[in-house]
Amino acid sequence: MKKLYGLFCILIAASMLLTACGAKSSEEKVLRVWIQWGDNPQQIQALFDKYTAESGVKVEVTAPIDDDKILPALTGSNPPDVLVLSGGDLAKSFYKEGLVDELSSAIETGNIDMADMFEAPLSQCRQGDLIVCLPWGTDAYALFWNKDLFEAAGLDPEKPPATMEELAEYAEKLTVVGADGTLEQVGFIPDHSWSHTDLYVRNFGGFWYSDDGSALTVNSQAMIDAMTWQQQFYTKYGVENLQAFTSGFGEYSSPDAAFYAGKVAMMVEGEWQVGPNFIPALKPELNYGVAAFPPPAAHPERAGTIVNQGTAVVIPSGAADKEASAKLLAWMMSPAVVAEEFCFNANLPTSKKAAEDPCFAALGEKFQVFVDLMASPNAYAVLTTPLSFELNDALYSAEEAILYQGADPKETLDAVQAEFEPKFKEAMGQ
């Protein structure tokens, strides 16, 4: 009897040990994904539940994650296994500080097909020969025009402006001033709904960094030209008049938003506008067209210029199981997953194979304009460096001074260049 009792105790102890081990094993298999954006966290979690069904590894998604929680997590002892950032700006800063990994090993572990990625969004993740993030969906911007307002102004509604100079001419014809001198309709506002200097400066043949990211070019001729071109619209309409006009705009995602309501005839906007949550839902009767933003008349070879910026995925350096993180990253980058997530959101896929998915064709010919532009030889990404986060703030301030206060573009940009060039050299180890 004592022997049986002793054996029973041993079995109970073994059972408890196995249960404890099983609980620990299960706990180890939970991967945490943090995402900076996410209007529909339930949909994102449901997507990652498919990974659990395929692999047996549970994934917990937090979306959107508060920005102020990211840095403490990366510098602490318990970072997420995968972090999805809104753009590549922070990825390079985090890599410089040793907070996220270079991804060559993860790419090899996950057998990620780098040739399947569109080069423009991938380029935001390159730091020299290193890859510090991977693009998981992207945005791009093009010209939208109201065909009814074109026709009312005596313009061909099927022909958008072919050059930046022609766009300025069209804008004047499309601007309506009331008897009391107030603006009732405006042809074009360059920074509506936010800054698009990245697109304009690319059309002028440059950027605020050199193409290889090794030099700061804030005060280049291309930057001066881009700011001067934008400034003309505020000079022509009058800063106070234009600001009074824009103060009456409806919410960005409401039926009385400026372009929807026919208050602005042309705008620069992203691909999501043609998706189910924006124009088709908010203003389905709107008669409009979409085309690549036009180049300067002197440079027709820049036709089809587009600038990508969007989601960047990183693996934190402190992630507990790098192999598990790499496998999850590979699953995220697969064409089927990219197609599902970004077709749902009407955003552009970063995978060429994903772009062939019928779900994108179902979004219509206007969305296809953006997909086609992704393969343009003039497709770029917003260049980023470890200094981007700080420099971008300075550039926004410079743009506001030039557009709203009439500051001289060259003098303003010279000042930014002088302030940041030493910082840039230090950040780049020059």
Number of Cβ atoms within 10 Å of the Cβ of 412: 21
Which stretches does DSSP call E strand in 340-399? 379-381
Rounded Cα distance, 176 and 153, in Å: 10
Token pair of 324 as six digits: 């598990």
Q: Is 131 left (phi over 0), alpha (psi -120 to 50) or beta?
A: beta
pTM exceeds 0.75 for this model: yes
pLDDT band at 39 (very low <50, low <70, confident <90, very high): confident
User: Bigger pLDDT: 22 or 406?
Assistant: 406
Q: Which CATH number does the domain 141-305+387-427 belong to among 3.40.50.720, 3.40.190.10, 3.90.1570.10, 3.20.20.60?
A: 3.40.190.10
Q: What is the structure's pLDDT at 427?
A: 87
- What are the tens digits of pLDDT across the range 179-204? 998 999 999 999 998 999 999 999 99
Helix orientation angle between 221-237 and 164-173, rounded to the nearest 10 degrees: 10
In which residue ranges of the chain is CATH 3.40.190.10 found?
31-138+310-381, 141-305+387-427
Q: What is the structure's pLDDT at 200?
A: 98
| Residue among 420, 383, 408 at smallest CA distance from 210 | 383
Residue 145, judged by CB atoms within 10 A of its CB (0-12, 13-18, 19+), counts as buried
Spatial contact of 100 and 74, defined as CB atoms under 8 Å apart: yes
Q: What is the structure's pLDDT at 48?
A: 98
Q: Homologous superfamily of 31-138+310-381 in CATH?
A: Periplasmic binding protein-like II (3.40.190.10)
pLDDT band at 175 (very low <50, low <70, confident <90, very high): very high
Residue 345 has pLDDT above 80, yes or no: yes
